């Protein structure tokens, strides 16, 4: 024998017995309030609520038990067989219809929504028409008559069913499905006081002659604890309070103080029953609205907490991404530094063949391109975090354009392009961050050179128009497809710009251009007639308030307009100490500085650098930041502690170049922070100012 089947059958049998017993007891309790003729059912019929709750919880299969329990109750009341069959049929159909409506419209036993409370009221009012109608019809057929008119009798029976379903059904469903209470010490105390107040006030009104105070009916006082319970507690607790009030009021009307002696007991019960139904409807609505408000607040709080958690995760992920990019840039820049220094050193020599010179120039160009790419990648991260702060000053555009041309000259020459520049000297100054504007124009010209086939033409022009500075970069390149043009400034956009060629790089150059221009309060737009017809990018920037005598926005490391790789060294001979745990990078710099006519030494450990500085007394100390045992910040602080180095130029040379890194350098006592790899022109500018 399958024990699982046995367990299920035993449970069903137990449920059937319980439902049968509860139904009969509820029917007998309702009979205690009987106030009509002998053949009339009770004016309060809680069994109607029991039957719908039973079918909703355990399924339609219990209809047989409901029918049997109704017949048994009629037998106990000595009801004629035909009438008993009619009452049982009506009660069963009523329970089936009520259960169907609750399930059809997805009634939630937790009673958290207004629609659930409204649905329960609708079922109580609508489904309970069946039982009194059937009972009235059977009474008429059997010739049984009550003490009141058939219409009044039908209304009394119907209201009895309405009150039973409205209070008993949700009470049983909610407590059976969710028996646990969310108890706290405060809620127990507050709930106890509220329910005692409701019970005490109901007892005072219905069980004693004291039904008014100061001429005001005490019935109004019931509203206070009812509002208290419905607003402070859930729908389930509100239903429990209404049920308790109904029991006290009905029993008090029958067994306690009888109220107005001129009114019959049936009339008084009818009035109390009608009042209880009205109060139930009102406070169903009040508690449902309050519960939905609490749910909305809890949901909102939950969403806020989830959003805060998601924001923190995104913030952590963004921070991790930023740190990863910074570390990646540092690790990539470290090997670039000695490579560039070695190439700069070779550039100062006489190459034996043009091929060797071309190879060195190509290697140098690729190193600078990679360094430029790393700068762009870090800037994207800074912009996304709002960490880029512009140092806006009046900038002379012609001088800045000369530096930009120098930045891209190697790339332009390697692709045999013709670059035409028309940026007059007499243009008004623009209000801009010189370094960032140089970055914008460098990116635009680099983009034009990359996407123009060899032997192409590129134009850089600028003019004043309507109080704005207009800068245009135009090329004869592969053009931009109409599908790509609207998204050309999107970050990491690597969409195809032409029919036969995909984009190069990471797709961040133009996105960075747009962000930087917007930070300047300007605009940038792209235009192309289509594939193979070139493209143009137009930048509009605000002008400076007034021209200045010189350009204070130019960087310290700004190179001259024409590159002079083999020019004579103008700076006086300097003693230079290079401290870097990367021996290749340190040695390459020492060779470069010695070739430039200076005296340079290298130290590969932090403490060795301090000792060598005390012995060598350099004019300039170049410190790597990420050294073992002691980082460059600590070395700088210790060096500044010696009187001998108060005026010595100490420069941080690091693969880390974010604003917080530069700020830490300033706080540690560095005079300047250079990011690897550093080119020859920057070193020359530093040496000339030392």
β partners of residue 649: 620
Lowest mean pLDDT segment, chosen from 115-124, 125-134, 263-272, 512-521? 263-272
Name the residue with higher pLDDT: 659 or 477: 477
Class of domain 392-542: alpha beta
Kindly report whether the global pTM for this prediction surpasses the value 0.75.
no
Q: What percent of the chain has pLDDT over 90?
A: 37
pLDDT at residue 667 tops 50: yes
Q: Are 677 and 647 in contact (CB under 8 A)?
A: no
Grade residue 551 by pLDDT with cuts at 50, 70 and 90. very low
**Is the pLDDT assigned to residue 403 strictly greater than 80?**
yes
Which sequence spans correspond to the domains of the chain? Answer: 11-180, 181-314, 392-542, 575-689
Would you say residue 275 has pLDDT above 50?
A: yes
Q: What pairs with residue 599 in β-bridges?
A: 575
Tell whether the model's pLDDT for residue 297 goes beyond 90: no
Helix (H, G, I), strand (E, B) or coil at 273: helix
* Pairing state between β 457-465 and 468-475: antiparallel
3-state secondary structure 243-260: HHHHHHHHHHHHHCCCCC
Q: What is the mean pLDDT of the chain?
A: 81
Q: By mean pLDDT, which of 337-351, 393-407, 509-523, 634-648 is the weakest? A: 337-351
3-state helix, strand, coil in the chain (%, to 5): 60, 10, 30
CATH class in words for 575-689: alpha beta
Q: What's the pLDDT at 558?
A: 34
Confidence grade of residue 189 (pLDDT, cut at 50, 70, 90): very high
Asked whether residue 462 carries a pLDDT value surpassing 70, the answer given is: yes
pLDDT over threshold 50, residue 555: no
Residue 99 pLDDT greater than 80, yes or no: yes
Query: pLDDT tens digits for 7-30?
Result: 557 888 999 999 999 999 998 888
Q: With a cut of 60, say whether residue 495 has pLDDT above it.
A: no
Per-residue pLDDT tens digits for 143-167 = 665 555 777 778 878 888 898 898 8
Q: CB-side exposure of 111: number of CA atoms within 13 Å?
A: 31
Q: Do domains 392-542 and 575-689 have the same CATH topology?
A: no
Label the pairing between strands 216-217 and 212-213. Answer: antiparallel
Confidence band of 365 (pLDDT split at 50, 70, 90) = low
Element (H, E) at 54: helix 47-58
Q: What is the CATH number assigned to the segment(s) 11-180?
A: 1.10.1760
**pLDDT score recorded for residue 261:** 63
Q: Which residues contact residue 386 at a Cβ distance below 8 angstroms, ignoring those fewer than 6 apart?
A: none
Q: Considering only 1-5, 127-131, 283-287, 630-634, which range has the smallest mean pLDDT?
A: 1-5
């Amino acid at each position: 024998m399958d024990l699982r089947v046995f367990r299920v059958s035993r449970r069903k049998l137990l449920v059937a017995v319980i439902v049968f017993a509860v139904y009969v007891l509820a029917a007998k309790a309702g009979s205690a309030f009987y106030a009509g003729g002998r053949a009339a059912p009770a004016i309060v019929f809680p069994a109607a609520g029991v039957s719908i709750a039973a079918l909703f919880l355990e399924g339609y299969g219990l209809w047989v038990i409901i029918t049997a329990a109704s017949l048994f109750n009629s037998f106990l009341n000595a009801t004629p067989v035909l009438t008993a069959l009619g009452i049982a049929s009506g009660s069963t159909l009523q329970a089936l219809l009520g259960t169907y409506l609750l399930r059809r419209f997805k009634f939630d036993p937790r009673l958290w929504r207004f629609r659930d409370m409204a649905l329960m009221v609708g079922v109580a009012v609508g489904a309970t028409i069946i039982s009194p109608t059937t009972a009235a019809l059977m009474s008429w057929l059997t010739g049984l008559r009550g003490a009141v008119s058939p219409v009044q009798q039908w209304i009394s029976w119907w209201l009895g069913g309405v009150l039973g379903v409205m209070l008993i059904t949700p009470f049983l469903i909610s407590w059976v499905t969710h028996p646990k209470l969310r108890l706290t010490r405060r809620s127990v105390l507050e709930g106890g006081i509220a329910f005692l107040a409701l019970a005490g006030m109901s007892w005072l009104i219905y069980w004693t002659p004291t039904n008014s105070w100061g001429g005001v009916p005490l019935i109004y006082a019931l509203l206070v604890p009812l509002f208290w319970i419905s607003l402070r507690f859930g729908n389930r607790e509100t239903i429990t309070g209404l049920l308790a009030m109904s029991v006290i009021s009905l029993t008090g009307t029958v067994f306690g103080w009888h109220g107005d002696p001129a009114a019959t007991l049936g009339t008084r019960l009818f009035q109390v029953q009608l009042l209880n139904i009205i109060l139930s409807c009102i406070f169903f609505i009040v508690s449902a609205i309050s519960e939905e408000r609490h749910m909305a607040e809890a949901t909102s709080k939950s969403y806020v907490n989830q959003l805060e958690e998601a924001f923190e995760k995104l913030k952590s992920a963004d921070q991790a991404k930023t740190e990863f990019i910074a570390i990646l840039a540092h690790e990539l820049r470290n090997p670039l530094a000695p490579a560039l220094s070695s190439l700069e050193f070779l550039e100062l020599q006489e190459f034996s063949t043009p091929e060797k010179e071309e190879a060195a120039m190509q290697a140098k160009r690729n190193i600078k391109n990679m360094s430029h790419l790393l700068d762009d990648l870090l800037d994207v991260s800074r912009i996304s975090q709002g960490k880029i702060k512009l140092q806006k000053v009046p900038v002379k555009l012609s001088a800045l354009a000369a530096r930009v041309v120098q930045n891209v000259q190697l790339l332009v020459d390697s692709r045999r392009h013709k670059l035409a520049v028309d940026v007059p000297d007499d243009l008004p100054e623009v209000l801009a961050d010189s370094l960032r504007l140089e970055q914008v124009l460098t990116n635009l010209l680099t983009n034009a050179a990359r996407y123009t086939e060899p032997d192409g033409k590129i134009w850089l022009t600028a003019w004043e128009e309507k109080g704005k500075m207009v800068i245009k970069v135009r090329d004869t390149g592969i053009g931009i497809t109409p599908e790509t043009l609207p998204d050309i400034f999107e970050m990491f956009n690597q969409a195809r710009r032409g029919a036969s060629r995909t984009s190069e790089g990471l797709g961040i150059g133009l996105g960075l251009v747009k962000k930087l221009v917007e930070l300047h309060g300007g605009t940038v737009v792209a235009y192309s007639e289509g594939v193979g017809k070139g493209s143009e990018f137009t930048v509009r920037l605000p002008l400076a308030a007034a021209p200045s005598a010189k350009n204070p926005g130019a960087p310290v490391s700004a190179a001259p307009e024409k590159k002079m790789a083999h020019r004579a060294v103008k700076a006086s001979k300097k003693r230079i100490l290079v401290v870097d745990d990367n021996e290749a990078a340190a040695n390459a710099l020492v060779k470069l500085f010695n070739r430039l006519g200076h005296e340079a030494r290298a130290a590969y450990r932090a403490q060795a650098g301090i000792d060598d500085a005390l012995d060598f007394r350099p004019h300039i100390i170049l410190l790597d930041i990420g050294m073992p045992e002691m980082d460059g910040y600590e070395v700088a602080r210790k060096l500044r502690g010696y009187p001998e180095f108060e005026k010595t130029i100490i420069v941080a040379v690091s693969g880390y170049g974010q604003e917080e890194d530069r700020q830490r350098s300033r706080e540690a006592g560095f005079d300047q922070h250079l990011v690897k790899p550093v080119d020859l022109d920057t070193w020359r500018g530093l040496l000339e100012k030392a």
